[in-house]
Structure 1
Amino acid sequence: MKSLKDNAALWVAVSLAAVLTGCGGAGGSSSTQPPPPTTYTLTVNSVNPTTGVAMTVSPADNNAAANGSTSFTRTYNSGTAVTVTAPATAGNNTFTSWAGCSSASAVTCQVAMSANTVVTATYASPKTTPTVSVTPASFAITTAQSLSVSVSVSGGTGNPVPTGSVTLSSGSYSSPATALASGGATVNVPAGSLAVGSDTLTASYTPDSASSSVYNAATGTSSAVTVTAIATSVSVDQSSVGPAVTDQLLGMNMAAWYDPTTSAVVPAFQLAGIQAVRWPGGSWSDDYHWATNTMCGNTPNSNATFANFVNDLVLPGNFDVALTANYGTNSTCNGPGQPSEAAAWITQAKAINAHVSHMTVGNEEYGSWEDDLHTLKNDAGTYAAAVGTASTSSGYYAQIKGADSSVLVGVDVNPGNSPAWDPIVLANSQYDFVEYHYYPQAPGSESDTYLVQQAAQGLTTEIKTIRSELTTAGKPNTPIYVGEMGSVYTTPGKQSWSITQGLFAGQVLGEMMNDGISRATWWIGFGNCDEGANGSAAGNMSSSLYGWQTFGAYNVFSDGPTDGPCGVGSGPIGTMSPTARAFQLFSKVAVNGESVLTANVNGDTTNVRAYAATHSGGTVLVLFNVSQSVSEAITVSLSAQSTSSDVSVETYSKAIYDQSQTGVWADPTTADMGTQSLPLTLTLAPWSMNVVIIKP
Structure 2
Amino acid sequence: MAAPNTAAPNAPAPNATALNAAAPNAGTPKVAAPGEAVRVDVDVRAGLASVGVGALGVNHAIWDSQLGTPAVADLLKDAGVQMLRYPGGSYADIYHWRDHTAPGGYVAPDTDFDTFMAGARRTGAEPMIIANYGTGTAQEAADWVRYANVTKGYGAKFWTIGNENYGNGHYGSEWEADDHADKSPKEYAANVVAYAQAMKAVDPSIKVGAVLTMPGNWPDAIVGAGDEGSWNQEVLTRAGSVIDFVDVHWYPGGSSAAETLTKPAHITDAVRLLRQQISRYAGTNADGIGISMTETNVDVGRNTQPGALFLADVYSGLLAQGVFTVHWWNVHNGLGTVSTVAGQTDYNDFGLLSSGNCNADNSVCQPPMNTPFAPYYALKLMGAFAKPGDRFVGAGTGDALVSSHAVRRPNGDLAVLLINKDPDNARTVALNYHGFTPAAGAPTVVTYTNGADGLTTATSGTAAAQTLPPYAISLVTLHSANPAPAVKTPARPTATTTDRTATISWPSAGPGLKYEVFRQNNGVAEQLGETTSTSLTVRNLEPGKRYTVNVVARDGSGRTSAASPPLTFTTATPAGAPCTVKLRDTNDWGNGYVGSIDITNNTAGPVTGWTMTFAWPTTWQTLGSGWNATWTADGRTVRVTNDNALAAGATINVGYVGNYSGPNVLPEVFTLNGNVCTSA
**TM-score range relative to shorter protein:** 0.5 to 0.7
Return the match for 2:304 from 488, 498, 501.
Answer: 498
Distance in 2, matches of 1:426 and 1:564, equals 46
Distance in 2, matches of 1:299 and 1:627, equals 41
Distance in 2, matches of 1:247 and 1:582, equals 19
Return the match for 2:395 from 584, 587, 599.
Answer: 599
- From the superposition, tell whether residues 648 and 247 of structure 1 become closer, same or farther in structure 2 (CA, over 3 Å): farther
TM-score norm. by structure 2 comes to 0.59
Q: Can you list the C-alpha shifts for 1:232-290, whole angstroms capped at 9, x where unaligned?
A: 22221122322111352311101111233433211111121111100001111111000
Return the match for 1:402 from 175, 192, 201.
Answer: 201
How far apart are 1:476 and its partner, in Å? 4.3
- From the superposition, tell whether residues 549 and 231 of structure 1 become closer, same or farther in structure 2 (CA, over 3 Å): closer
- From the superposition, tell whether residues 584 and 385 of structure 1 become closer, same or farther in structure 2 (CA, over 3 Å): same
- From the superposition, tell whether residues 457 and 643 of structure 1 become closer, same or farther in structure 2 (CA, over 3 Å): closer
Distance in 2, matches of 1:305 and 1:595, equals 36
Return the match for 1:688 from 439, 457, 472.
Answer: 472
Return the match for 1:639 from 402, 424, 434.
Answer: 434
Q: In the alignment, which residue of structure 2 is the partner of 1:257? A: 63
Letter matched to residue 285 of structure 1 = A
Q: In the alignment, which residue of structure 2 is the partner of 1:371? A: 177
Q: In the alignment, which residue of structure 2 is the partner of 1:670? A: 457
Q: Can you list the C-alpha shifts for 1:17-49, whole angstroms capped at 9, x where unaligned?
A: xxxxxxxxxxxxxxxxxxxxxxxxxxxxxxxxx
How far apart are 1:628 and its partner, in Å? 1.7
Percent of aligned pairs with the same amino acid? 27
How far apart are 1:516 and its partner, in Å? 0.9
Is 1:352 the counterpart of 2:155? The answer is no
Distance in 1, matches of 2:47 and 2:105, equals 48
Q: State the secondary structure of the residue aligned to 2:108.
A: coil
Distance in 1, matches of 2:123 and 2:70, equals 11
Q: State the secondary structure of the residue aligned to 2:453.
A: coil
Q: Is the 8 A contact 2:50 2:320 kept in 1?
A: no
Q: In the alignment, which residue of structure 2 is the partner of 1:22? A: none
Letter matched to residue 159 of structure 2 = M
Distance in 2, matches of 1:610 and 1:435, equals 26
After TM superposition, the structure 1 = structure 2 runs for residues 72-83 of structure 1, keeping only pairs within 5 Å, are: none
Distance in 1, matches of 2:382 and 2:363, equals 26
Letter matched to residue 521 of structure 1 = H
Q: In the alignment, which residue of structure 1 is the partner of 2:96? A: 289
Q: Is the 8 A contact 1:339 1:399 kept in 2?
A: yes
- From the superposition, tell whether residues 143 and 357 of structure 1 become closer, same or farther in structure 2 (CA, over 3 Å): closer
Distance in 1, matches of 2:371 and 2:363, equals 11
Q: State the secondary structure of the residue aligned to 1:683.
A: strand
How far apart are 1:145 and its partner, in Å? 7.0
Q: In the alignment, which residue of structure 1 is the partner of 2:162? A: 362
Find the structure with the greater CA-based Rg: 1
Q: State the secondary structure of the residue aligned to 2:439.
A: strand
Letter matched to residue 504 of structure 1 = F
Q: Can you list the C-alpha shifts for 1:181-217, whole angstroms capped at 9, x where unaligned?
A: xxxxxxxxxx5xxxxxxxxxxxxxxxxxxxxxxxxxx
Distance in 1, matches of 2:48 and 2:391, equals 6
How far apart are 1:231 and its partner, in Å? 3.9
Is 1:233 the counterpart of 2:35? The answer is no
Q: State the secondary structure of the residue aligned to 2:353.
A: coil
TM-score norm. by structure 1 comes to 0.58
Is 1:449 the counterpart of 2:271? The answer is no
Distance in 1, matches of 2:288 and 2:89, equals 26
Distance in 1, matches of 2:465 and 2:123, equals 39
**Which consecutive aligned stretches of 4+ in structure 1 deviate over 3 angstroms post-superposition?**
142-146, 560-572, 640-643
Q: Is the 8 A contact 2:334 2:357 kept in 1?
A: no
Q: State the secondary structure of the residue aligned to 1:466.
A: helix
How far apart are 1:690 and its partner, in Å? 0.7
Q: In the alignment, which residue of structure 2 is the partner of 1:513? A: 319
Distance in 2, matches of 1:593 and 1:566, equals 47
Q: In the alignment, which residue of structure 2 is the partner of 1:630? A: 425
Q: In the alignment, which residue of structure 2 is the partner of 1:69? A: none
Q: Is the 8 A contact 1:480 1:517 kept in 2?
A: yes
How far apart are 1:446 and its partner, in Å? 2.8
Distance in 2, matches of 1:567 and 1:405, equals 54
Q: Can you list the C-alpha shifts for 1:87-114, whole angstroms capped at 9, x where unaligned?
A: xxxxxxxxxxxxxxxxxxxxxxxxxxxx
How far apart are 1:407 and its partner, in Å? 1.2
Return the match for 1:653 from 449, 458, 463.
Answer: 449
Q: In the alignment, which residue of structure 1 is the partner of 2:117? A: 310
Q: State the secondary structure of the residue aligned to 1:667.
A: coil
Query: What are the ranges of 5 or more consecutive residues in structure 2 without an aligned counterpart?
Result: 1-29, 168-173, 225-229, 481-680
Distance in 1, matches of 2:395 and 2:433, equals 9
Q: State the secondary structure of the residue aligned to 2:293.
A: strand
After TM superposition, the structure 1 = structure 2 runs for residues 36-435 of structure 1, keeping only pairs within 5 Å, are: 230-259=36-65, 260-311=67-118, 313-329=119-135, 337-350=136-149, 351-367=151-167, 368-377=174-183, 379-388=184-193, 395-414=194-213, 415=215, 416-418=220-222, 419=224, 420-429=230-239, 430-435=242-247
Q: Is the 8 A contact 1:145 1:632 kept in 2?
A: no
Letter matched to residue 273 of structure 2 = T
Q: State the secondary structure of the residue aligned to 2:237.
A: helix
Distance in 1, matches of 2:346 and 2:449, equals 20
Q: Can you list the C-alpha shifts for 1:555-578, whole angstroms capped at 9, x where unaligned?
A: 111223679799956433322211
Distance in 2, matches of 1:321 and 1:517, equals 17
- From the superposition, tell whether residues 361 and 565 of structure 1 become closer, same or farther in structure 2 (CA, over 3 Å): farther
Return the match for 1:470 from 278, 286, 301.
Answer: 278
RMSD of aligned C-alpha atoms? 2.5
Distance in 2, matches of 1:262 and 1:495, equals 27
- From the superposition, tell whether residues 673 and 549 of structure 1 become closer, same or farther in structure 2 (CA, over 3 Å): closer
Letter matched to residue 450 of structure 1 = E
Q: In the alignment, which residue of structure 1 is the partner of 2:527? A: none
Q: Is the 8 A contact 2:303 2:346 kept in 1?
A: no
Q: In the alignment, which residue of structure 2 is the partner of 1:209? A: none
Distance in 2, matches of 1:279 and 1:238, equals 37
Distance in 2, matches of 1:465 and 1:144, equals 31
Q: Can you list the C-alpha shifts for 1:427-483, whole angstroms capped at 9, x where unaligned?
A: 101210000000011xxx63111112x112223332222111111113145210001
Distance in 2, matches of 1:634 and 1:328, equals 50
Letter matched to residue 418 of structure 2 = L
- From the superposition, tell whether residues 547 and 523 of structure 1 become closer, same or farther in structure 2 (CA, over 3 Å): farther
Q: RCO greater where, 1 or 2, for CA within 8 Å and sep 6 or more?
A: 2
Distance in 2, matches of 1:384 and 1:503, equals 36
Q: State the secondary structure of the residue aligned to 1:385.
A: helix
Return the match for 1:611 from 405, 409, 414.
Answer: 405
- From the superposition, tell whether residues 636 and 566 of structure 1 become closer, same or farther in structure 2 (CA, over 3 Å): farther
- From the superposition, tell whether residues 502 and 686 of structure 1 become closer, same or farther in structure 2 (CA, over 3 Å): same
Q: Is the 8 A contact 1:319 1:355 kept in 2?
A: no
Query: What are the ranges of 5 or more consecutive residues in structure 1 without an aligned counterpart?
Result: 1-141, 147-190, 192-229, 330-336, 389-394, 489-493, 531-536, 658-664
Q: Can you list the C-alpha shifts for 1:559-603, whole angstroms capped at 9, x where unaligned?
A: 2367979995643332221111111111112211111111122x3
- From the superposition, tell whether residues 565 and 450 of structure 1 become closer, same or farther in structure 2 (CA, over 3 Å): farther
